[in-house]
Amino acid sequence: MELGIDRFLAGEHKKFAKLRLGVLCNQASVDSRLRHVRDLVLDPKLKLKIGCFFGPQHGIRGEKQDNMIESDDFTDPKSELPVYSLYGSTREPTPKMIEGIDAFLVDLQDIGTRIYTFMYTLANCMRVARAHGRKVIVLDRPNPIGGTLTEGNALEPAFASFVGQFPMCVRHGLTMGELATLFNEEYGIGCELEIVPLKGWRRDTFRDESVADWIPPSPNIPRFLSALTFPGSVLFEGTNVSEGRGTTRPFEWIGAPFIDPDRLAVRMNALRLPGTYFRPIFFQPGFQKCKDQVCGGVQVHVTDPFRFNSFRAGVGLLFAIHELFPGKLEWKRPPYEYEYERMPIDLIAGTALLRECVESGKPESFEQAAQKSLDTFRRTRRDYLLYPERRRR
């Protein structure tokens, strides 16, 4: 398999030699030999014109551990070019930032979930490019949790935010290049867009099946399984229950001081959700929620990634915790990702219906609505696949 950056280096870069490029990247922006895109584009042999760099949430170096920890602008010590933060005083490039560039060169690793901000940093750059006559070039990368499976409800427009701008389902099954095409055509951004596609990628493969080492795209996605469980476990960011931040297994360990792990594991395993097993555990986060407190909970073990539905597991855990431990589950209050009024759980879920159904104990009402919106997005999604769908043997 060849990444977009590999194909760019192999010859595609020549098409853009006359353009001054602003490179949007982070620590995971490496080629198949694990060389970072900054060092690659600055190679004099390529004769590229680099005007600046941009960094997304967690910083261009990936050092910002938590949500809503902003990054500052600085000067890159190697190239002496400006590095602009798109998760600081602004979430989109300002006119001053783009004065010295003709195009955005985007090389970011997404994790396949609607509630992940890198795709919206891309979308914001696309809007700015459209408004100011710039081009956007996306170096495509695989979706690490596969390109065939989709999960969860589609976001309702009233709940759009920086963790969800478009009416997409939670696990979307698209690459960053496909997302850019969807944003541009289906959702009307309309910028000048070019994708440098992958070569040899199969939609029915997961990132851990490749030969490349896993580089955390953000600090709390330390391994492939963190990305695979994220579509459901991220719901707990909107609660007082720990999603495992501050531990070695973020988004795989779910728990709180008030949870009896054995009771929760029995309840969840009784659901017989395909491809997963819930093991009772105790853990003690070193930071964030429940810091230095012993939490009871479960580890979400994936026994079959092709049958595992993370969103269903996360929703099931929400309902189970609410029912088993009455009055203990609480919804996180704002602010959350630059939103100061709306409930974080509603922004994450893309709807108020999940919260309302948990409170009323009616999972079937949410499941029916979620399936209907998922079916609608699946039909939309088909028109924007850059790589063919094949059945896995």
SS (H, E, C) 57-112: CCCCCCCCCCCCCCCCCEECCCCCCEEEECCCCCCCCCCCCCCCCCEEEEECCCCC
Whether residue 296 sits in one domain with residue 250:
yes
Residues 5 and 40: beta-carbon distance below 8 Å: yes
Domain harbouring 277, CATH code: 3.90.1150.140
Is residue 357 a part of any domain in this protein? no
- Tell which of 321, 336, 351 closes a domain: 351
Domain harbouring 94, CATH code: 3.40.50.12170
For residue 121, CA distances in Å to 8, 273, 289 come to 21, 34, 26
Is residue 217 a part of any domain in this protein? no
Is residue 170 a part of any domain in this protein? yes
Whether residue 49 sits in one domain with residue 192:
yes
Whether residue 27 sits in one domain with residue 138:
yes
Residues 109 and 168: beta-carbon distance below 8 Å: no
Q: Which domain holds residue 297?
A: 224-351
Is residue 381 a part of any domain in this protein? no
How many domains are contained in the chain? 2
Query: Residues near 200 by Cβ (< 8 Å), separated by ≥ 6?
Result: 1, 2
pLDDT by residue for the chain (393 residues), tens only, comes to: 999 999 999 999 999 999 999 999 999 999 999 999 999 999 999 999 999 999 999 999 999 988 779 999 999 999 999 999 999 999 999 999 999 999 999 999 999 999 999 999 999 999 999 999 999 999 999 999 999 999 999 999 999 999 999 999 999 999 999 999 999 999 999 999 999 999 999 999 997 655 468 899 999 999 999 999 999 999 999 999 999 999 999 999 999 999 999 999 999 999 999 999 999 999 999 999 999 999 999 999 999 999 999 999 999 999 999 999 999 999 999 999 999 999 999 999 999 999 999 999 999 999 999 999 999 999 999 999 999 987 554
DSSP 110-136: --SBSS-THHHHHHHHHHHHHHHT-EE
Is residue 44 a part of any domain in this protein? yes
Whether residue 89 sits in one domain with residue 124:
yes
Whether residue 113 sits in one domain with residue 47:
yes
Whether residue 238 sits in one domain with residue 179:
no
Sign of CA dihedral 92, 98, 104, 106: negative
- Tell which of 172, 207, 242 closes a domain: 207
**Residue 280: its pLDDT value, please?**
98
**Residue 391: its pLDDT value, please?**
57
Is residue 364 a part of any domain in this protein? no
**Residue 68: its pLDDT value, please?**
78
pTM value is 0.96
Whether residue 231 sits in one domain with residue 177:
no
Whether residue 8 sits in one domain with residue 126:
yes
**Residue 212: its pLDDT value, please?**
61
Whether residue 186 sits in one domain with residue 242:
no
Burial class (CB in 10 A: 0-12, 13-18, 19+), 122: buried
**Residue 66: its pLDDT value, please?**
80
Is residue 391 a part of any domain in this protein? no
